[in-house]
Amino acid sequence: MELSSEGRPACSVLFEEPSQEVTGQGEAPGPDFWKDLHLEEVVAALVARRGQYDLEQFFRTPLVDPGAVRYRQEVARDLEDPATAECTRAFAEGMDRARSFLRGMGQIRDDFGGGHYRQAWFLDAADNYWSAVSRLHDGLASLAVRSRALLCFREYLSRYVRSEHFVSMGAEVRGLRDDLAAIHYALFIKGPRVTVAHYEGWPDYSTEIERTFRRFRQGEVRDFLADFRDQRDANHVQARVLERLARQHPGPFARLAAFYAGRDRLLDPTIVAFDREVQFYLSYLEFAGPLEQVGLSLCYPEICEAEMNDGRCQTHVEESFDIALAARLATEGTAAVTNDIALSGPERILVVTGPNSGGKTTFARMFGQVHFLASLGLPVPGRSARLSLADRIFTHFEREERLETLHGKLQDELIRVRGILERATNKSVIVMNESFASTTLADSRFIGTRVLEKVTAEGALCVYVTFVDELASLNKATVSMVAEVVPEDPEVRTFKLTRRPADGRAYAKALANKHGLTYTRVVAELTS
């Protein structure tokens, strides 16, 4: 009795057409991209502890169709409701347990305990599956679900749980569970000899010991309990105990055998597919949770249908941040500094200047990340965002780890940038960080100018981090962004970038009086 036809899921939460998995997707970017934008660690965190779902390909593959992005955004919005997410998470845990019992079943030897073992494992699988599905159904039924994907799935689920197959399974599982749980037996072990008997309510010896020594109790002491994991493996000694228990309690064991014989295919393909695909969203929302807790926002970007950044739909992101950095900072309870991106008119290139460690590279990463995450159909760092989907995102970062001659390094950089410029279109995003720094200032200025002129001509969106102030005012496409410091103490970076002309100020000087521990503040603190 299968409701899904021939193992093909009835609905998918990732693709509008469940078969679309192979079409409508862009090309997964190359290895440099993940490293440069620090997305490697983000993907690693997203798939961590979720190995069983094999999610990585979904996180690595961008969508190129705005409609496909919106389909996922709907699902993500639904799952942002904590009740919906919690309901789905509980379901996943139940499914996990069910699968582990099914796996374990296959490993039990035939001659163990007259099948009492295998049957019991099957019962546990069915029990976990039944409760997981029922709770998911009850949960979803009472929740305000709006996405096309979840509405489809909910509809499917409600037909499934009303089916006779599912209803009767639940009743049998519960009856058997109660029967087996009621069996409390005693073992008398002396040497190699074991006697199986009924338990007669004797007290726990450890409580008697505790009672004797209670008078010495001084407070909490550490515990000396060995950490025995629950026995999950079948063994032949327990098999012999089970044979005797089956004789002592014939009813429950006979019913268990009948249940096992009567049910074969347990898991429904549409439900299995949902279980896997929904993890794509859950892992991302879990990842984003700590960021929101420290006060950062994520939002659903409006995706431009028209040409990139043309007059009708201009790139605009408010209070965004580097998601990888923010995740690290959030573990310490601090929020990453946020920055805005706004392009208007002919502007296409953000030229970023300012002091060392002032947040320039972070800004560049943020720009690339926002575009990539948007193309996965997921919320992006920021309070609000309007973006175009990029056909490709290119990164060009300084490769410090390579021990090459200056000439070799610059040459390598130029080769890489040529490759980018050859492939980039007016729908591409290019992130360039400290490019061409391994040469004289005049050279840097010259090469930078040439490269940015080409980018301008192509019409790609670009971030260009540089020490060369002149590049910030190259042409009408460039916008100058400057990383700021605290005016009273130039040693302190704000990590804020503002839109203003590059001014090449020297920031190395420290000012005195930075402790700020003045007499007035001492008095203020005392009398407050």
Partner 1 sequence: MKAYLLHPDKDFDFRRDLPEGSDELSQDLGLDILCTEMGRGDRLVSEICKRALVFGSKDTATIGYRQRVLYDCLQHSGVVGELYDLAVEAVDAERQIWGLYNRSSPRAVLSRAVRVVETFVGYLRRLRRLSDEHADEFSSDGFARFFKMVSEELDDAYFAEVQDHLERLKFRGGMLISAGLGPGNTAKGFVLHLRPGRGWRERLAALRRSGDTFEVPTRDEAGLKILDEWELRSLNLVANAVAQSAEHIRSFFTVLETELAFYVGCINLRARLSELGGAVCVPEPLPPGEPAWSAEGLYDLVLVLRSGGRVVDNDMGADGKSLVVVTGANQGGKSTFLRSLGLAQLMMQAGMFVAASRFRAAVVTGVLSHFKREEDASLRGGKLDEELRRMSRIVRRISSGGLLLCNESFASTNEQEGSEIALELVRAMAEAGVKVVYVTHLFELANRLWSEDRDCALFLRAPRRSGAQPFKLVEGAPEPSAYGEDLYRRIFEEDAT
* 173-202 positions binding partner 1, by CB under 8 A: 180-181, 183-197, 199-200, 202
For partner 1, the closer of residues 235 and 357 by Cβ is 235
* Smallest distance, partner 1 to C-beta of residue 113, A: 7
* Smallest distance, partner 1 to C-beta of residue 267, A: 18
- Other beta carbons within 10 Å of 390: 24
Residues 6+ apart with CB under 8 A from 157: 133, 136, 137, 140, 271
For partner 1, the closer of residues 207 and 405 by Cβ is 207
For partner 1, the closer of residues 161 and 183 by Cβ is 183
Query: Can you tell me which of 230, 332, 401, 422 binds partner 1, judged by CB under 8 A?
Result: 230
Nearest to 478 by CA among 314, 338, 343, 340: 343
Expressed in angstroms, the distance from the first to the final Cα of the chain is 74
In angstroms, the CA 292 to CA 286 distance is 10
Which part of the chain contacts partner 1 (CB under 8 A), choosing from 139-147, 238-246, 257-265, 279-287? 238-246
Query: Can you tell me which of 228, 265, 312, 405 binds partner 1, judged by CB under 8 A?
Result: 228
* Smallest distance, partner 1 to C-beta of residue 167, A: 24
Nearest to 14 by CA among 267, 276, 272, 269: 276
Strands 349-353 and 429-433: unpaired
* Smallest distance, partner 1 to C-beta of residue 449, A: 49
In our burial notation (b when 16+ CB lie closer than 10 A, e otherwise), range 402-416 reads eeeeeeebbeebeeb
For partner 1, the closer of residues 218 and 440 by Cβ is 218
Size of the site for partner 1 (CB under 8 A): 78
- What is the token pair recorded at 176? 């058997």
Residues between 485 and 524 with contacts to partner 1, criterion CB under 8 A: 515, 517-519, 521-523
Strands 461-465 and 349-353: parallel
For partner 1, the closer of residues 235 and 293 by Cβ is 235
Beta bridge partners of 387: 303
* Smallest distance, partner 1 to C-beta of residue 115, A: 10
Query: Can you tell me which of 71, 101, 153, 166 binds partner 1, judged by CB under 8 A?
Result: 101
Query: Can you tell me which of 31, 51, 106, 219 binds partner 1, judged by CB under 8 A?
Result: 219
CA-CA-CA-CA torsion sign (218, 224, 225, 227): positive
* Smallest distance, partner 1 to C-beta of residue 256, A: 9
Residues between 107 and 146 with contacts to partner 1, criterion CB under 8 A: 113, 116-117, 119-121, 124
Nearest to 58 by CA among 271, 270, 276, 269: 276
Give the gyration radius of the chain's Cα atoms: 31
- What is the token pair recorded at 153? 């799935």
* Smallest distance, partner 1 to C-beta of residue 221, A: 4
For partner 1, the closer of residues 214 and 312 by Cβ is 214
* Smallest distance, partner 1 to C-beta of residue 127, A: 9
In angstroms, the CA 441 to CA 133 distance is 65
Question: According to the binding rule CB under 8 A, does residue 238 interact with partner 1?
Answer: yes
Question: According to the binding rule CB under 8 A, does residue 31 interact with partner 1?
Answer: no
Query: Can you tell me which of 17, 178, 210, 305 binds partner 1, judged by CB under 8 A?
Result: 210
For partner 1, the closer of residues 31 and 192 by Cβ is 192
* Smallest distance, partner 1 to C-beta of residue 512, A: 8
**DSSP SS3 for 320:** strand
- What is the token pair recorded at 34? 């993940």
- What is the token pair recorded at 367? 């720009």
CA-CA-CA-CA torsion sign (280, 284, 289, 295): negative
* Smallest distance, partner 1 to C-beta of residue 136, A: 21
Please tell me the total number of residues recorded for the chain in this structure: 528
Amino acid residing at 352: V
Residues 6+ apart with CB under 8 A from 445: 468, 470, 471
Residues between 247 and 306 with contacts to partner 1, criterion CB under 8 A: 247-248
For partner 1, the closer of residues 220 and 422 by Cβ is 220
Question: According to the binding rule CB under 8 A, does residue 94 interact with partner 1?
Answer: no
